[in-house]
Amino acid sequence: MHKDFSEWYRAAGIDPVAEAVPKRWLGVENYSPEALDIITLTKFFYGLGHPNEVFISTLREAFQKEDVTFPMQKNDVELRVLAGAVLIDVIEHGDKDLAMLSALSLVSTSFQNLRKGACVPAIPNIAALYLYLRTSDRANPPEKHASSSLFTALDELGEPYDALALELTKVQLELSVVSEETNMLWWLFSESSRDLSKHWSGISLPAATIIAGKELADLTHILPGPMSALAFLDKIIRLAKTKPPATITIKDAINEIPLDLRRKYLSPGCVSDLDAVVPLSCGIKVSVGSPENESWVPAFVTATKVAAEAKLAPNLVSYQMFVERMLLQALNQSTKP
């Protein structure tokens, strides 16, 4: 059981019952979400809409199985705490792809702490720490090394040759990380947008925030991206404007991206079920559909529950775009047949 599980109850305004807490945690451990379930759990945890009755009933049944007294209705606050607990359990003990998806989902939905709907604020912080630790661990292979006929043959030879398979996998991964980060450094030294073929100083600061986050994501293939991602993006922001303002609005960041570029940025993975989880990507999508006179703004607010006039530091807007693109990558990887 997570050491802070009882504290999560208290953070949500619920007094934990000593005999019930271990049973609740058994339900957490035994609930096995798939990739799309993780998105639904995240939205429910943040109070962004209510899942369909089939999903909610299945979630409640997982806890009633461990405790027959678990209520099957009128306990949404506790259920939101448990949804967050499931996501943390996946992060700490689940499959690595689903762990990455869970962490990115929690962090992306928090919108750089602009959204205050988390019933347990500590849970997104745990997800953010996990991503930070994974950035420094990207060159380490997973528990089971890559599958290939060569590695299988080495495994079958036994000691000491079977250890060589893991070492070769590590070298492959390290080379991939070095190659990826070299491309990022060339991008930084070019001081130009890849998508607009223009020096960053010729692009408005609000537009540059989102464009830079998207371009860094394009160069990232090993999740969750480099440890220096935020510093890279801050460098781009200062190329666009030497002394950037303290904050910019979400509306300005989206509005100042050229419309034809917004159309190119539409991601096939950004479906309506994800709107609240990837709010900037949602804003780009709805702005393409209704670009005249900011008529897209009400649709954005309805879908994301975030004010278009909300303000963030420019580098955080950029990093949010980067995280959203990482989330879409993780979701795509986790749902591949």
**Kind of pairing between the strands at 311-312 and 198-199:** unpaired
Closest C-alpha among 197, 200, 216, 227 to residue 137: 227
CB neighbour list of residue 257: distance below 8 Å, 6 or more residues apart: 207, 210, 211, 265, 284
Cα separation of 247 and 314, whole Å? Answer: 6
- pLDDT averaged over every residue in the chain: 91
The answer on pLDDT for 156 being more than 80 is no
pLDDT for res 141? 57
Do residues 240 and 205 touch, judged by C-beta distance below 8 A? Answer: yes
Tell me the pLDDT band of 165, cut-offs 50, 70 and 90: low
The answer on pLDDT for 333 being more than 60 is yes
pLDDT for res 145? 46
Q: What percent of the chain has pLDDT over 90?
A: 78
The answer on pLDDT for 31 being more than 90 is yes
Q: Which residue has the tokens 């009755």?
A: 53
Tens-digit pLDDT profile for residues 290-331: 888 789 999 999 999 999 999 999 999 999 999 999 999 999
Write out the H or E segment, with its range, that includes residue 10. helix 5-11
Which pTM does this prediction carry? 0.91
Break the chain into its structural domains and give their ranges: 5-135, 191-334
Tens-digit pLDDT profile for residues 82-141: 999 999 999 999 999 999 999 999 999 999 999 888 999 999 999 999 999 999 887 675
Tell me the pLDDT band of 172, cut-offs 50, 70 and 90: confident
Write out the H or E segment, with its range, that includes residue 206. helix 205-218
